[in-house]
Amino acid sequence: MSAARIPRSPKVLVGVGIVGFFVILTVVGPWLAPYDPSSTNFLPNLTPSGSHWLGTTSLGQDIFSQLMVGARATMVVALVAGLVATALSIIVGVAAGYLGGFPDEGLSLLSNVFLAIPGLPLLIVIDSYLPASGRSNSFVIGLIISLTGWAWGARVLRAQTMSLRNRDFVEAARIIGESRFRIMMGEIAPNLLPVLASSLLFTILYSIGAYVTLAYVGLTSTAVWNWGTMLYWAQANNAPLSNEWYWFVPPGVCIALVGMGLALMNFGIDEFINPRLRAGGLSGRLRRTSGLPRRPRLGFTPVMHHPQAQTSGSVLTKMGAQ
Amino acid sequence: MRMLLRRLSLYAVTAWVAITVNFMLPHLMPGNPVQTMIGKLTGRVTPQQVHAIELSFGGLKGNLVEQYFGYLHQLLLGNLGVSITLASPVSTILRSAVPWTVGLIGISTILSFVLGTFCGTMLGWMRGSRLDSVIPISTFFQAVPYFFLGTVLLLVFGLNLHWFPVLGAYSPSVTPGLSWTYIFSLIRYGELPVITIVLSSVAGWMLGMRNMMITMIAEDFVLMAVAKGLPRRKVIMHAARNAVLPSVANLSLAIGLVVSGALLVELVFNYPGVGNLLLQAVLNEDYPLIQGIFLIITMTVLVANLLADVLYFILDPRTRTQAAV
Amino acid sequence: MIEEFATLVDPNDVDDAVLEIEDFSVDYGWGDSAVHAVNNVTLSVRRSRVLGIAGESGSGKSTLVYAVTRLLRAPGVITGGTARLSFDDSSSSTGQMTTLELTTASERELRKIRWSRVSIVLQSALNALNPVLRIGHEFDEVLKTHRPDMNKSERRQRAAELLALVGLNEERLARFPHELSGGQRQRVMIAVALSLDPQLVILDEPTTALDVVTQREIINELAQLRAQFGFAMIFITHDLTLLVELADDIAVMYAGNVVEWAPARDLYDTPRHPYTLGLLSSSPPLSGERRELVGIAGSPPDMSKPLLGCSFHARCPYALDRCSQEAPPLRVIDKTGRKVACWLHDADNVVPGPLRRTVRISAPTQAVNDAVSGSNQAVVL
Ligand SMILES: Nc1ncnc2c1ncn2[C@@H]1O[C@H](COP(=O)(O)OP(=O)(O)OP(=O)(O)O)[C@@H](O)[C@H]1O
Ligand code: SF4
Ligand SMILES: [Mg+2]
């Protein structure tokens, strides 16, 4: 995969920028927090000010500190869940697609069953039976989320593996007698990379949504600060109804921005996988000088009469007429 | 036909898995939560109801296999246990809540699919035009949690601007029945929840359809439609008719995701459906109700999946003569 | 060097042309990265006649015809030239000929002449037919759009007639493309192409994807249909042998240029351009014994760079000094109206033997081998 082939459209760059920003926040967020997010030392229900950028909760906690500290828990759980789910989907999807036959039937059935069961209700049921120790353990929550989120990736990877399996280079490796495992890891895996990246982005996106939702309905420990528990407390204290927008809007917008960044990055991968999606646009200057339309229209091939072509053409006509 | 049969058997297996998971979960958890719960029941519900709850968990006697078959037996009889907080049979509670959810999510999903497919078709066809700027914006809505968007909309357009009546499924001053005032009230109260679900889910359909349109436009048969001198609308239809197939194929899978998000919208708008009920049940640790709701949601989603598969079957003639796709 | 020829058909007699392409150029892309796929091509298609276009893969045959009909996809751009389509305007009762300049036509004008005047058959009918629509729909939508006064049963009637023309049962109307064989699909495409009695049918390698027997059947059917309905055809193929039976005139393209354009039989029997000669020696003979096929050494030039001199000079066995400096224009070289773009036919040159013959040699292998391997001596001659 050469660097030149990686699309660099503005959409993708913005996506990378947003995600990069939040990744940095994950690392430095807790240090940036001016106060302990749980400490109730301040006056309750303060509106935003210089000392409390986002005001305080009805318990007198600093909201900005919660947002900063909460970034880490949210992103880490999403990442853990996303990685574990992707690992599961690679194992199931690639094996099913490569082995074919009976193992494929079984593994496909497994992923289809997991796809058909609605994820959130299942998560809620599992979570509601978890003892409190489990609920406050981010790792356990991440694992459970990954359990409901791997099936989509497995399906996509299976399809891609099946199409790769029949291509020449894999055939060639098989003929020279490489072992199945070597072929899977050496030949198929690298060609799955773009599909894999896309599936990872979407699994992380799903995991953030699932984690935040669980926290919002009070199924994770409310003592662990993440953007979902912030929304939970804001809701529980009627922040939306009392117009305390600075309490519930920032975490929601952060969640949406991370997701948006991931989705924008995925445009790049889409264009990489499907060249038809790559824009073949004209620069503004060229469009003006050549008189070409901004957007190609099917069935209306543009005609560009640049002076050079005209003159050389007429010379030839004269010669042809001799 | 083979394809439909395959899907049908898949859903049968899925239903069985869901039912079994539902049974196993309380037994797998450390500390036997069912025993603990039943121990705490005295005084809250009648002894008969305690018995019904015990039965719905497969009875407390015998080994796991016997309990499993006891549970299946009760399920066949329609005994999903008794809600601890509401002190009435879970099946009765569900019967009044399910129609609200099916109505709300069903209508929103159909609207969102139709709208997203239409916008995606136009975006794909007009690619390179100024309309493209909609795309990055739409990813924001794709990523925002349903309940958060719902809260913001509720606050801005419901409580502050008073454009939409909110909280509940119809005006408290209207008596339910087959009257125009009731129907009108239903529609008015449904608007903002529907808008929330549509806004949150439309981007997925739109972007998927756009990509497929761009892929399809590169196909020969679309060029042929142009070469035939067909009006633009018909050319677009040639491409769209094929581009929509992957969306429809994904419809059955996406329903689960939409339902997951939409359940929380009910909570935000205090809509009387199963989503709202589920979250109340979670807060109250009302296990019989939680499990009943999980089962009913799963079964409903499976039925919706099957409907989506039938739609695909109708739209793609190749599935009718070839082996499963 | 002008010889006496049996036929005196003049391909330059453009008064009777359905389509006149003049000085036509097409690029893919723009600016520095542009690929000049078609360069200053002049061609015309005579009424009710068949123009064959032959040439190696990538020589710009498809690009030319799609660009002329304005169907070429982005990043294709027409960078110069004109293309005039002439047709009887049925709306004017006098039966006068109307001419439409395709490069300046509006989308509306194009839509009106598409399929009713010019129709197209593509190489792969499987891709050209919409997979989710019934065969009947293909006919129906065309008739509905261009013949709004026809009612449903008339349209069906017409579709059945058209299918019968290509030897298919009307029962096929209710079928989907994937339910037909490759040959049947291509027949359907031909029937659809004829549904509005067009003046011109463009066939871009319509038989390449088919087996030899089906290929032959379809070519015969096309010849019959043309005799019956009198439409003109542009028939694109790699296979010169196939063309010589069907075509009246043949144009040979190389690297975006027309290098030779002549009456079909003349071009086949007595080629005058070194590339035509090479192409003939690399295609199987029309009839008679099998012979060894000789390809043309080398590969076509990179068309994204400006070309100096004759586009064929790097591969040409007869290349002269000036060939690498000046591009030869396409000029009439004899009384048949044959046009060739090659400096060898300039007055002050001696034309090498294989390009000078007046009759076809019965055992072409010899001559062809001469042409290719004995090239250097030929130049000295
Ligand atoms: N989209 C494109 N972008 C850039 N170059 C292109 C594109 N499409 C075609 N070309 C180039 O234009 C030239 C002419 O292609 P064209 O398809 O017209 O050839 P052809 O004679 O029809 O070949 P074939 O017999 O294989 O169909 C080729 O050299 C090709 O590489
Ligand atoms: S012009 Fe020169 S190089 Fe070109 S074909 Fe003729 S002899 Fe060969
Ligand atoms: Mg071609």
- DSSP letter string over B83-144? -TTT-SBHHHHHHHHHHHHHHHHHHHHHHHHHHHHHHHHHHHHTTTSGGGGHHHHHHHHHHS
Instruction: Quote the pLDDT of residue A289.
Output: 67
CA distances from B136 to A176, A211, A265, B213, C62 (A): 47, 24, 11, 18, 37
B136 touches A11 (CB < 8 A): yes
**Cα–ligand 2 centroid distance for B84 (angstroms):** 96
B111 touches B198 (CB < 8 A): yes
Cis omega before residue A121 (within 30°)?
A: no
Residue C339, SS3 per DSSP: strand
- Written as one string, the DSSP assignment of A160-204 is HHHHHHTSHHHHHHHHTT--HHHIIIIIIHHHHHHHHHHHHHHHH
Instruction: Quote the pLDDT of residue C349.
Output: 73
**Cα–ligand 1 centroid distance for C65 (angstroms):** 12
C189 touches C128 (CB < 8 A): yes
Instruction: Quote the pLDDT of residue A286.
Output: 64
**Percentage above 70 pLDDT, chain C:** 85
**Percentage above 90 pLDDT, chain C:** 50
**Cα–ligand 3 centroid distance for A226 (angstroms):** 59
Does residue C379 carry a pLDDT above 50?
A: no
Residue A269: pLDDT band (50, 70, 90) is confident
Ligand number nearest to the C-alpha of C75: 1
Q: What distance in Å separates the CA atoms of residue C108 and residue C118, rounded to the nearest whole number?
A: 15
B288 touches B90 (CB < 8 A): yes
Q: Is residue C144 less than 8 Å (CB to CB) from chain B? A: no
Instruction: Quote the pLDDT of residue C195.
Output: 93
- Give the nearest ligand 2 atom to C318 CA: 7
Instruction: Quote the pLDDT of residue A283.
Output: 56
Residues of B in contact with A279 (CB under 8 A): 127-128
Stronger pLDDT, A271 or C155, i.e. the higher one:
C155
Residue whose structure tokens are 């038809």: A276
Please name the member of A286, A299, A319 whose beta carbon is closest to the beta carbon of C70. A299
A283, closest residue in chain B (CA to CA) = B128
Q: Is residue A131 less than 8 Å (CB to CB) from chain C? A: no
Please name the member of A115, A231, A276 whose beta carbon is closest to the beta carbon of B148. A231
Range with the largest mean pLDDT of A32-41, A176-185, A286-295, C335-344:
C335-344
Residues of A in contact with B148 (CB under 8 A): 231, 248, 252, 255-256
Instruction: Decide: residue A181, CB within 10 A, 0-12 exposed, 13-18 middle, 19+ buried.
Output: exposed
Please name the member of B126, B215, B226 whose beta carbon is closest to the beta carbon of A274. B215
Mean pLDDT of C192-197: 94
Ligand 2 neighbour C254 (Cβ under 6 A)? no
Question: Which amino acid type is present at position B306?
Answer: L
Q: Is residue B241 less than 8 Å (CB to CB) from chain C? A: yes
Residue C120, SS3 per DSSP: strand
Which of C339, C333, C311, C335 minimizes the C-alpha distance to C249? C339
pLDDT tens digit sequence for A25-68: 989 888 887 778 877 777 777 777 777 677 777 777 888 888 88
Instruction: Mention every residue, 6+ apart, whose C-beta is less than 8 A from residue A248.
Output: A230, A231, A234, A235, A239, A240, B148, B151
Q: Which helix (H) or strand (E) holds C26?
A: strand C17-28
Instruction: Mention every residue, 6+ apart, whose C-beta is less than 8 A from residue C208.
Output: C123, C237, C238
Full set of structural domains in chain A with CATH = 10-40+49-281 (1.10.3720.10)
Residues of C in contact with A296 (CB under 8 A): 73-75
Average pLDDT of chain B to the nearest whole number? 86
Instruction: Quote the pLDDT of residue C62.
Output: 94
Does residue B236 carry a pLDDT above 90?
A: yes
Residue B33: pLDDT band (50, 70, 90) is low
Instruction: Quote the pLDDT of residue B256.
Output: 83
Relative to beta strand C76-88, strand C97-101 is antiparallel
Residue C123 has a CB neighbour count (10 Å cut-off) of 20
C61 touches C26 (CB < 8 A): no
Q: Does A259 sit within 8 Å of B14, measured CB to CB?
A: no
Full set of structural domains in chain C with CATH = 17-253 (3.40.50.300), 256-298+309-373 (no CATH)
Residue whose structure tokens are 């109730």: A40
Does residue C337 carry a pLDDT above 50?
A: yes
Residue A290, SS3 per DSSP: helix
Q: Does B234 sit within 8 Å of C110, measured CB to CB?
A: no
Does residue C7 carry a pLDDT above 70?
A: no
Tell me which residues of chain C, numbers 292 to 331, contact chain A at a CB-CB cutoff of 8 Å: 329-331
Instruction: Mention every residue, 6+ apart, whose C-beta is less than 8 A from residue A195.
Output: A156, A157, A160, A273
The C-alpha of A285 sits at a distance from chain C's nearest C-alpha, in angstroms, of 11
Dihedral sign of CA atoms C40, C43, C44, C49 in order: negative
Residue B209, SS3 per DSSP: helix
Relative to beta strand C257-263, strand C249-254 is antiparallel
Q: What distance in Å separates the CA atoms of residue C276 and residue C299, rounded to the nearest whole number?
A: 15
Instruction: Quote the pLDDT of residue C304.
Output: 78
What's the distance, CA B246 to chain centroid?
19
Choose, out of C109, C122, C132, the residue to mutate when testing the contact with B (most B CBs < 10 Å). Answer: C132
Mean pLDDT of C332-340: 86
A294, closest residue in chain C (CA to CA) = C74
**Cα–ligand 1 centroid distance for C297 (angstroms):** 20
Instruction: Quote the pLDDT of residue C5.
Output: 38
Residues of C in contact with B228 (CB under 8 A): 114-115, 119, 141-142, 145
**Cα–ligand 1 centroid distance for C306 (angstroms):** 17
Residues of B in contact with A294 (CB under 8 A): 128-129
Average pLDDT of chain A to the nearest whole number? 80
Instruction: Quote the pLDDT of residue A313.
Output: 36
Q: Does C42 sit within 8 Å of A320, measured CB to CB?
A: yes
Residues of A in contact with C31 (CB under 8 A): 286
Relative to beta strand C118-121, strand C97-101 is unpaired
Q: What distance in Å separates the CA atoms of residue A150 and residue A92, rounded to the nearest whole number?
A: 9
pLDDT tens digit sequence for C41-96: 999 999 899 999 999 888 999 999 999 999 999 889 999 999 999 987 765 555 56
Please name the member of C115, C122, C176 whose beta carbon is closest to the beta carbon of B220. C122
Q: Does B322 sit within 8 Å of C178, measured CB to CB?
A: yes
Please name the member of A303, A312, A317 whose beta carbon is closest to the beta carbon of C78. A303
**Cα–ligand 1 centroid distance for C71 (angstroms):** 14
In this prediction the pTM is 0.86
Q: Whose CA is nearest to atom 30 of ligand 1?
A: C58
Stronger pLDDT, A240 or C19, i.e. the higher one:
C19
Residue whose structure tokens are 């276009």: C53
Residue C372: pLDDT band (50, 70, 90) is very low
pLDDT tens digit sequence for B253-270: 788 888 888 889 998 899
Residue A103 backbone phi and psi in degrees, to 5: -55, -40
Stronger pLDDT, C360 or C162, i.e. the higher one:
C162
Q: Is residue B225 less than 8 Å (CB to CB) from chain C? A: yes
Relative to beta strand C35-46, strand C17-28 is antiparallel
Q: What distance in Å separates the CA atoms of residue A122 and residue B266, rounded to the nearest whole number?
A: 18
Which of A261, A236, A234 minimizes the C-alpha distance to A25? A261
Q: What distance in Å separates the CA atoms of residue C307 and residue B131, rounded to the nearest whole number?
A: 41
pLDDT tens digit sequence for B96-134: 999 999 999 999 999 999 999 999 999 999 988 888 888
Which of B32, B70, B47, B117 minimizes the C-alpha distance to B287? B32
B90 touches B47 (CB < 8 A): no
Does residue A302 carry a pLDDT above 50?
A: yes
Q: Does C329 sit within 8 Å of A296, measured CB to CB?
A: no
Mean pLDDT of C179-195: 93
Tell me which residues of chain A, numbers 106 to 145, contact chain B at a CB-CB cutoff of 8 Å: 109, 112-113, 115-122, 124-126, 128-131
- At residue B36's C-alpha, the angle toward residues B34 and B40, to 5°, is 115
Instruction: Decide: residue B59, CB within 10 A, 0-12 exposed, 13-18 middle, 19+ buried.
Output: middle
Residue C294: pLDDT band (50, 70, 90) is low
Instruction: Quote the pLDDT of residue B132.
Output: 84
pLDDT tens digit sequence for C111-129: 999 999 999 998 887 789 9
Instruction: Quote the pLDDT of residue C285.
Output: 60
Q: What distance in Å separates the CA atoms of residue B130 and residue C114, rounded to the nearest whole number?
A: 29
pLDDT tens digit sequence for B188-212: 888 999 999 999 999 999 999 998 9
Stronger pLDDT, B147 or A161, i.e. the higher one:
B147
Instruction: Quote the pLDDT of residue C3.
Output: 38
Residue A152: pLDDT band (50, 70, 90) is confident
Instruction: Quote the pLDDT of residue A11.
Output: 82
Q: Is residue B43 less than 8 Å (CB to CB) from chain C? A: no
Residue C371: pLDDT band (50, 70, 90) is very low
Full set of structural domains in chain B with CATH = 2-76 (no CATH), 97-168+194-316 (1.10.3720.10)
> Residue C257: beta bridge partners?
C254
Instruction: Decide: residue B221, CB within 10 A, 0-12 exposed, 13-18 middle, 19+ buried.
Output: buried
SS (H, E, C) C190-230: HHHHCCCCCCEEEEECCCCCCCHHHHHHHHHHHHHHHHHHC
C342, closest residue in chain A (CA to CA) = A320
Instruction: Quote the pLDDT of residue A319.
Output: 33
Does residue B87 carry a pLDDT above 50?
A: yes
Residues of C in contact with B241 (CB under 8 A): 130, 132-133
The C-alpha of B219 sits at a distance from chain C's nearest C-alpha, in angstroms, of 7
Instruction: Quote the pLDDT of residue B325.
Output: 34
Instruction: Quote the pLDDT of residue C346.
Output: 80
**Cα–ligand 3 centroid distance for C50 (angstroms):** 18
Does residue C378 carry a pLDDT above 50?
A: no
Instruction: Quote the pLDDT of residue A308.
Output: 45
Stronger pLDDT, C299 or C103, i.e. the higher one:
C103
Ligand number nearest to the C-alpha of C54: 1
A319, closest residue in chain C (CA to CA) = C329
Q: What distance in Å separates the CA atoms of residue C198 and residue C45, rounded to the nearest whole number?
A: 14
Residue A316: pLDDT band (50, 70, 90) is very low
Tell me which residues of chain C, numbers 265 to 284, contact chain A at a CB-CB cutoff of 8 Å: none
pLDDT tens digit sequence for B132-185: 888 889 989 988 999 999 999 998 998 888 898 888 888 888 788 888 888 888
Does residue C15 carry a pLDDT above 70?
A: no
Average pLDDT of chain C to the nearest whole number? 83
Tell me which residues of chain A, numbers 206 to 245, contact chain B at a CB-CB cutoff of 8 Å: 209, 212-213, 216-219, 231, 235, 240-241, 243, 245
Residues of B in contact with A217 (CB under 8 A): 264, 267, 279, 282
